[in-house]
Structure 1
Amino acid sequence: MNRGRQIGISVSAAVLSGLLVYGVYLLQLRQIRLTETAEVVVPRQFVPAGTALEREMLTTLRLPSGAVTAEMITEMSEAAGLEASAPLGGGEPLLRWKLDKFRLLPRRGEATFQVPRDYVKSVSSGIRAGDRAIVYLSADGLASRRLFDEPVIVAAVKTAANQEIDNPKSSNLLSMAEGDKERMYASRRDANGSIDAVNLNLTEAQWLALDNACKDGAAKLVIAYDAASFGGEGETGS
């Protein structure tokens, strides 16, 4: 009887000892996981909304793995070239919802200007918000010329009813985000109205040059679709 009791006590002690060892192992494993880190991309300093991110503006920061979420950007190549759609704090992990691929907001030093209708001679029918546009100046008796050296970003394209021109069943911007060029082309073809107003993101110097060239009515603008908006492919019509 005493022998059986001793065996029972020994077995119980062994089980308790095993549970204690296992508990210590779980605590150590949890501690290891808490000390594991992962790199996330952060701005070196404060970034205002509308700023296009460049590699030199970014760095990486190590955070505990448990604090890294799917919304945080972990690759520098993914962040470079995107635009801040909200202010970004220095050292703050970049969140995807705060970044935009299609630069509808004016960049630093720019503002969004609606081009007066009487300034415009023609607009490419396929132009949409988020596109790049080339602006030309056309005047009677003078050689036509390119007004700005570089293309400018189209912030909005609207109908006479002040509605954004797009295909309501298949958004052009959504197709751009998904890289679906066929659907992008279809959305431009099946858009919901004719262009009445174009908003462009311009610097102050660009707007003053445009206004001074057109305000007396002697010259008008030709706003052309830049094929680079379509990844190097596209059509321009007027």
Structure 2
Amino acid sequence: MNRRRSLVMTAAAALFAVLLVYAIGRLQEIRTAREGMTYVVVPKRFIGAGETIAAGDLALRLVPKGVYDGEAIADIQAAAGMEAVIPLGEGEPILSWKVDRFNLFPGPNESTFQIPKDYIRSISNGIRAGDRVVVYLSGEGAASGRLFEETVKVASVKSSSNMEIDNMDDPHLLSLAEGDKERMYASRRDANGMIEYINLNLTEAQWLAIDTACKDGTNQIVIAYSPETMDAAAAAEGEEAP
């Protein structure tokens, strides 16, 4: 009887030792796998281009190291408050070039002004949010010419139904982020809707200059887009960065 009990105990101890070795091996495998992984920030829902990202919209996801070559954001607080430059899919790692903290925000000493419709003679239909544009003065009250030497940033352009104007099948911001200027211009050309409202990020002096020139009705402004202003936009963003 004692011998049988001894054999059972020996077998149980051997089985326990085997299970312990297996468990240790599995833990080592998991640890090794985890060491080749890293956490990145992903949206918990679809986020549209130009939308401000809240911390509650974000989660962490484990992905293989090196897949995103350091471009993926790994801290939720670092991504919270940024704007989506292009649409972000649910569960899609957020890469640094896909978001911008100050893409459409007014810069230092600027505010966002909606330009009254009767102040405007014409707006280029190629203009979209995030562009930098040239503002010209035209009318009987003053000589025609550039009102400002510098370009100004467009905060938003909307249709009469208060919808942001863009090509929903091929957003211009996606082409802009990918550096494809020809496709970006084509998406602007193919976008539906006429611009009814435009908001510009202006300094107080710039707004007062527009208001002073246009409020009596003798002058209006022309807001023009040119692909060359993309280079001015890149330079301006570099100057504004802290």
Bin for the TM-score computed over the shorter chain: 0.5 to 0.7
Q: Is it true that 1:93 corresponds to 2:114 in the alignment? A: no
Identify which range, 216-225 or 164-173, moves more after superposition: 164-173
Aligned length: 195
The unaligned stretches of length 5 or more in structure 2 are 42-49, 51-58, 86-99, 233-242
Partner of 1:82: none
CA distance in 1, matches of 2:28, 2:128: 57
* Match runs of 1:165-180 below 5 Å: 165-176=165-176
Task: Return the TM-score normalized by structure 2.
Answer: 0.56
| Match of residue 154 from structure 1 | 154
CA RMSD for the aligned pairs?
Answer: 4.7
How far apart are 1:131 and its partner, in Å?
2.0
Deviation (angstroms), 1:224: 1.0
Please give the per-residue CA displacement for 1:162-210, whole angstroms capped at 9, x wherever unaligned: 4433345544445545656555333322332333332212222321222
Q: Match for residue 126 of structure 1? A: 126
Q: Secondary structure at the match of 1:205?
A: helix
Change (3 A) 1:185 1:139: same
The answer as to whether partners of 1:131 and 1:226 remain within 8 angstroms in 2 is no
Aligned residues of 1:38 and 1:68 also touching (Cα < 8 A): no
> What amino acid is the match of 1:196?
E
Who is 2:110 aligned against? 110
For 2:206 and 2:13, how far apart are their aligned partners in 1? 84
Secondary structure of the corresponding residue to residue 78 of structure 2: coil
- Kindly indicate whether the alpha-carbon contact (under 8 Å) linking 2:115 and 2:200 is maintained by their aligned counterparts in 1: yes
The residue that corresponds to 1:13 in the other structure is 13
Matches within 5 A, 1:12-91: 12-23=12-23, 69=61
After superposition, the Cα gap between the structure-2 partners of 1:169 and 1:38, relative to the gap in structure 1 and judged at 3 Å, is closer
Give yes or no for contact 1:151–1:226 (8 Å, CA) kept in 2: no
Following superposition, the deviation at residue 225 of structure 1 comes to 0.5
Q: Which residue of 2 aligns with 1:203?
A: 203
TM-score, normalised relative to structure 1: 0.56
Q: Distance in 2 between matches of 1:70 and 1:225?
A: 43
- Helix, strand or coil: the match of 2:128? coil
Does the 8 Å CA contact 1:132/1:228 hold for their aligned counterparts?
A: no
Unaligned runs of 5+ in 1: 42-49, 51-66, 80-90, 233-238
1:7/1:76 Cα in 2 relative to 1: closer, same or farther (>3 Å)? closer
Distance 1:170 1:22 in 2: 53
Query: Over residues 119-159 of structure 1, what are the superposed CA-to-partner deviations in whole Å (9 max), with x where a residue is unaligned?
Result: 22222121122322111223547544433343222222234
Among the aligned pairs, what percent are the same residue?
50
